[in-house]
Amino acid sequence: SDLSQMPPALFSVGTEDALVDDTLRCFEKFRAAGNEASVHIWPGAPHGVGHFGPHASTPLGMRARRATEAWICSFGIEGRS
């Protein structure tokens, strides 16, 4: 796949997520293609931390959500509170 000229992306993953290796590999490929990308790695967090499931309302989940919203707002786009 041609990943060049993509918009900025945030890759956010917990270390307990079954997809952590895939997420980090995609992040590296995205950056290698010359795109702007950020990665947030959440120690001990499961899949979807901060976005859905029972862990979304935990302190870690809320920190992850705030970090995602801050990343979005850094582009002048308002996140949901």
Per-residue model confidence as pLDDT tens digits over 26-63: 999 999 999 999 999 999 999 998 888 888 889 999 99
Q: Which is more confidently placed, 16 or 79?
A: 16
- The reported pLDDT for the residue numbered 67 is 95
> What ranges make up the beta strands (E) of 6-51?
9-14, 37-42
50 secondary structure, DSSP code: T
Query: Given CA atoms 78, 33, 47, 49 in this order, what sign does their dihedral have?
Result: negative
* Res 66 pLDDT > 90: yes
**% pLDDT > 90, the chain:** 78
What predicted TM-score, i.e. pTM, was given to this entire model? 0.86
Rg (CA), the chain: 13
* CB of 36 closer than 8 Å to CB of 6: no
Q: At 10, which amino acid appears?
A: L
